[in-house]
């Protein structure tokens, strides 16, 4: 984690951060991944979404949230009037874990300085985390996602505080469609926050 912190702090722009990640060798996940999945959408967008880690489709394409979860995410964004291309999308882990397993606490800790830097440089007005690992890592809590979701939190970049909301992961909603009402409530709250409410 110290190596990652030192490497991440050297990035003054998102492009520099991407290049640093592409050179970084301190996370074992990189060895089995096809590529580094850094971001999609618009750097500097008012809304930033952060998921867990690339899956197979993302590992192949190099873009976050392009598989089935991504398609659901796109529909959820469209439902609040947001085209995914106008948001900024990333993951707490930029390399696909083998077989899409959940990242370990150590892997999350290693990658945390990079996503923290990415958020600070992207500097959104509103930050949305998707699923348990992203929320637990970024908010440094062990609290479960079903308790964390739907509550506005302050995310401190070290430079400023950003309004942040944890919600459920689209992959979870694909397995548990009955939970979609909670995500819908959260996305409507995001819409209101972007509208200044």
Name the strands in the sheet holding 126-130, side by side, starting at the edge strand that comes first in the sequence: 40-41, 88-91, 47-51, 126-130, 161-167, 152-156
Report, in Å, the least distance between residue 196 CB and ligand URA. 29
Q: Which of 52, 46, 22, 26 is nearest to 35 (CA)?
A: 22
Rounded Cα gap, residues 121 and 48, in angstroms: 11
**Whose Cβ is closer to ligand URA: residue 45's or residue 53's?**
53
Smallest separation, CB 139 to ligand URA (Å) = 16
Helix ranges (DSSP H) in the chain: 2-9, 14-23, 29-32, 56-61, 68-79, 105-122, 132-139, 145-148, 170-175, 180-194
For 123: left if phi > 0, alpha if psi spans -120 to 50, otherwise beta; the answer is left
Binding mask 156-175 for ligand URA (x = CB under 6 A): ---------------x----
Nearer to ligand URA, 8 or 89 (CB): 89
Complex with ligand URA: residue 58 or 186, whichever CB lies closer:
58
Q: For ligand URA, give the closer residue by CB, 41 or 70.
A: 70
| Of residues 51-70, those binding ligand URA (CB under 6 A) | 51-55, 58, 64-65, 67, 69-70
Length in residues, the chain: 197
Smallest separation (angstroms) from ligand URA to the CB of 12: 25
User: Among residues 41 and 55, whose Cβ is nearest to ligand URA?
Assistant: 55
- Give min distance, CB of 51 to ligand URA, in A: 3
Pairing of strands 126-130, 161-167: parallel
Q: List contacts with ligand URA (CB under 6 A).
A: 51-55, 58, 64-65, 67, 69-70, 91, 171
């Amino acid at each position: 984690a110290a190596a990652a912190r030192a490497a991440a702090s050297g990035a003054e722009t998102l492009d520099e951060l991407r290049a640093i990640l592409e050179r970084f060798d301190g996370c074992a996940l990189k060895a089995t991944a096809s590529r580094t999945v850094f971001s999609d959408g618009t750097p500097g967008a008012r809304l930033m979404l952060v998921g867990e880690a690339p899956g197979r489709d993302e590992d192949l394409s190099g873009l976050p949230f392009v598989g089935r979860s991504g398609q659901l995410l796109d529909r959820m964004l469209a439902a609040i009037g947001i085209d995914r291309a106008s948001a900024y999308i990333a993951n707490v882990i930029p390399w696909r874990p083998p077989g899409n397993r959940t990242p370990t606490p150590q892997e999350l800790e290693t990658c945390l300085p990079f996503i923290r830097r990415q958020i600070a440089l992207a500097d959104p007005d509103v930050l949305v985390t998707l699923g348990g690992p992203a929320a637990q890592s970024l908010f440094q809590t062990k609290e479960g996602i079903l308790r964390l979701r739907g509550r506005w939190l302050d995310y401190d970049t070290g430079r400023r505080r950003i309004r942040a909301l944890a919600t459920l992961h689209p992959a979870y909603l694909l397995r548990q469609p009955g939970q979609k009402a909670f995500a819908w409530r959260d996305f409507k709250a995001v819409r209101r926050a972007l509208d200044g409410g």
